[in-house]
Chains A and B, each alone.
Chain A
């Protein structure tokens, strides 16, 4: 138990579907992150929210749309994805917005058909 919960753990979707990934942290942290993890590649930072404000968008395609309604919840809305978007999507939180020690969820394994 890391204090960061992600749902669903597994998701299979077609290229025309719309789905959402959810992340919730119970640690009282102020910053939340979305990362993409592909096999044998470094973690790719997608989005950062600090005190509910988006502070980082690493040139992520618009088919990925984040939402942070409060400091404890983070969503990643998915629309018209491509097969190359299949990966493990990790949510993380930290006390401050300058990365530092991250607490990760177990990830949502996404497969795009």
Chain B
């Protein structure tokens, strides 16, 4: 079966750095997405990785290792507004999106 694993919940301190991991086992691979979802709001696109390596976008970076079936989302200089759920999703060989259950990130002052 296809599976995406990510931690259920993480806590970090304002101003610090946090890394949210995502591991996947899927039928093929056509890219990995990260979405951010604030409570009561729509998920919004953060990043897309299809090649190995690190993609940086401001305070957020996303890393992919296809050989290890592994990705992480790195958030720097954490702000209170970063408190949200972070969803990892993989596009499989049939271009179906396989979703993780999401990681709830709690930022403390």
Contact = CB atoms under 8 A, between A and B. Distances in A.
A42 B45 contact: no
Contacts of A107: 42
Contact of A43 (B41, B45, B48, B99): B99
Contacts of B99: 42-43
Nearest to B43: A104
A105 B42 contact: yes
B44 interface: yes
Contact of B45 (A4, A98, A102, A105): A102
Given A42-B100, A42-B101, A101-B48, A90 B42 contact: yes
Interface residues of A, number: 18
A4 to B, nearest CB: 7
Contacts, number: 44
A2 interface: yes
Given A45-B97, A99-B91, A40 B42 contact: no
A45 B44 CA distance: 17
Contacts of B84: none
Interface string A76-104: 00000000000000100000001111111
B11 interface: no
Of the four ranges (under 10, 10 to 19, 20 to 34, 35 or more), the interface on chain B belongs to: 20 to 34
Given A41-B101, A99-B95, A106 B8 contact: no
B96 interface: yes
A39 to B, nearest CB: 9
Nearest to A56: B96
Contacts of A42: 4, 98-102
Interface of B: 4, 8, 33, 35, 40-45, 48, 87, 89, 91, 95-102
11 contacts: A2-B44, A40-B8, A42-B101, A43-B97, A43-B99, A98-B91, A99-B95, A101-B48, A103-B45, A106-B40, A106-B41
